[in-house]
Amino acid sequence: MKKIVVLDGKTLGNVDYIKLNEFGQVVYYDLTLKEEVAERVKNANIVLTNKVVLNRENLKDATQLELICETATGYNNIDIEYAKEKNIAVTNVTGYSTTTVAQHTFAMLLHLYDNISYFDNYIKSGEYSKSSMFTNLEMPYKDLCGKVWGIIGLGSIGKRVAKIAQAFGARVIYYSTSGKNSDSDYARVEFDSLLKQCDIISIHAPLNEKTEGLINYEVFTKMKKDAILINVARGPIIVDEDLARAIDEEIIGGAALDVFKVEPIPAENPLLNIKNKERLVLTPHIGWASEESRNRLFTDLLENISAYNRSEIRNRVDI
């Protein structure tokens, strides 16, 4: 019977891990520390990881390891070259969170754009009950219709966001970080042009040498003074210190972030200590994590293992 080791099962929440039993003996861990990895994977045939790093050093004694299942899309935590050397198969899951991340993009944007926190607090504080007016016009907000929405990274999530933005009546343009992406449905522009034109900019690009630190203080100075920036991609694409400064200097209108350079966000991160807190919305990397999204991920993960086993059986029969 194969031994299946789940290294950080807690990161997927309450998915039905019992379904793994059909593939072998399951050893489950909520979380795994760096120094615990080597011992826990030593006798494993299949390993499931989300954020736990698997590399040459901690895999060298895992001589029975056949398959590593990344319980996410990005697999930069896995030493792919070492896996190839040792003929260890590696799988990931794509597409499971496209609609969910797009939904969260708009949830954060509208929360900020419509000043929901202000109006919610206005009523709950009792101030509305004291008012002589049926409405409150002290905190203005704007229509999304007619605005220019810029997308950095027009992949599957970026395209989903573009369609929804159009449904709101916004005009969509995009910037390709690789320089290779082309889509006839939307206008592709250079980076500086995107910065100057857009009322809202959302980031859906991968983290690589072209995107790390892409959004810095100089970039903020080129944006509209009331522009909103949204990042649901990867934290290091934005320089946190520069964003905090830009918000407090009122160089841009505000920002909504679901990802950070270091996660969980350190207490000393300057974004937690800005003066203009009402201009910033922060969520703890949950844009991908609706119940439905996590269940889709786990279902596809089970299919990856099943497909691997079918392939293994077929190969053995052919021999």
Dump the DSSP string for 119-153.
HHHHHHTTHHHH-SSSS--SS----STT-EEEEE-
Beta bridge partners of residue 228, listed in sequence order: 200, 254
R_g over Cα of the chain: 23
For the stretch 39-87, pLDDT in tens is 999 999 999 999 999 999 999 999 999 999 999 998 989 999 999 999 9
Nearest alpha carbon to residue 55 among 93, 86, 94: 86
* CATH numbers and ranges of domains, the chain: 3-94+291-318 (3.40.50.720), 98-282 (3.40.50.720)
Average pLDDT, the chain: 95
* pTM of this structure: 0.91
The DSSP call for residue 94 is -
Amino acid present at 90: V
Give me the catalytic one of 85, 218, 263, 312: 263
Contacts of 97 (CB under 8 A, 6+ apart): 73, 157, 287, 288, 289, 290, 293, 296, 297
For the stretch 140-195, pLDDT in tens is 999 999 999 999 999 999 999 999 999 999 999 999 998 777 778 999 999 999 99
Cβ atoms of 287 and 104 within 8 Å: the answer is yes
Amino acid present at 121: N
160 is catalytic: no
Give the whole-angstrom CA distance, residue 299 versus residue 294. 9
285 is catalytic: yes
The DSSP call for residue 266 is P
For the stretch 308-318, pLDDT in tens is 998 864 443 33
Give me the catalytic one of 171, 188, 245, 285: 285
Q: CB under 8 Å, gap of 24 or more: what pairs does 180-185 form?
A: 181/154, 181/155, 183/154, 183/159
Per-residue model confidence (pLDDT) at position 178:
84
Give me the catalytic one of 204, 234, 279, 294: 234
